[in-house]
């Protein structure tokens, strides 16, 4: 996040669409793929970036990240994973422990819940990190 065209402040968000979201969803940004553990509950073992943990968001719910702030701060030269699931992640533990319970609703068809996730509002558009 050091390119000359870096916006100040640099931030973005991920959110679900206005339509098509059939069940609440949970979303994290972590340094290990698939980590849904709460960094506030497991501060020494969770790889979720502090502030980048959202549980049971409804339609238009979002997770906002930034380059310089107090929470959900993403840093240069790191690999991050965007994790999302139609589930309640309040009981998930680091390293795959615990459980996530389904948030499936009657709007889900054949055991499948649609979840349109997209880049939300932010200053990242047109920015190319070096």
The strand pairing partners of 83, in sequence order, are: 28
Position 60 scores a pLDDT of 83
Q: What are phi and psi of 80, to 5 degrees?
A: -120, 155
Most confident by average pLDDT, 56-70, 89-103, 112-126: 89-103
Please tell me the distance from the alpha carbon of residue 21 to that of residue 24, in angstroms, as a whole number.
7
Confidence tier at 129 by pLDDT (50, 70, 90): low
Please tell me the distance from the alpha carbon of residue 85 to that of residue 101, in angstroms, as a whole number.
10
Taking residues 65-94, what's their average pLDDT?
Answer: 93
Does position 95 have pLDDT exceeding 90, yes or no?
Answer: yes
pLDDT by residue (tens digit) across 96-106?
999 999 998 88
Pair of tokens at residue 33: 């793929």
pLDDT by residue (tens digit) across 16-50?
876 667 889 999 999 999 999 999 999 999 999 99
Position 28 scores a pLDDT of 97
Please tell me the distance from the alpha carbon of residue 70 to that of residue 77, in angstroms, as a whole number.
19
Taking residues 121-125, what's their average pLDDT?
Answer: 78
Please tell me the distance from the alpha carbon of residue 69 to that of residue 100, in angstroms, as a whole number.
29
Please tell me the distance from the alpha carbon of residue 49 to that of residue 69, in angstroms, as a whole number.
12
Position 48 scores a pLDDT of 98
Instruction: For the chain, give every domain's residue range.
Output: 11-104
The strand pairing partners of 125, in sequence order, are: none
Please tell me the distance from the alpha carbon of residue 127 to that of residue 69, in angstroms, as a whole number.
18
The whole-model pTM stands at: 0.88
């Amino acid at each position: 996040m050091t390119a000359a065209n870096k916006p100040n402040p640099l931030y973005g968000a991920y959110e679900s669409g206005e339509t098509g979201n059939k069940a609440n969803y949970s979303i994290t940004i972590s340094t290990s793929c698939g980590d849904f553990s709460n960094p506030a509950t497991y501060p020494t073992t969770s790889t979720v970036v502090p502030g980048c943990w959202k549980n049971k968001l409804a339609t238009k719910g979002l997770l906002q990240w930034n380059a310089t702030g107090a929470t959900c701060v993403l840093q240069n030269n790191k690999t991050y994973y965007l994790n999302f699931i139609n589930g309640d992640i309040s009981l998930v533990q680091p390293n795959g422990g615990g459980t996530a319970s389904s948030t499936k609703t009657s709007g889900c068809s054949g055991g499948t819940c649609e979840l349109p996730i997209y880049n939300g509002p932010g200053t990242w558009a047109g920015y190319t990190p070096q």
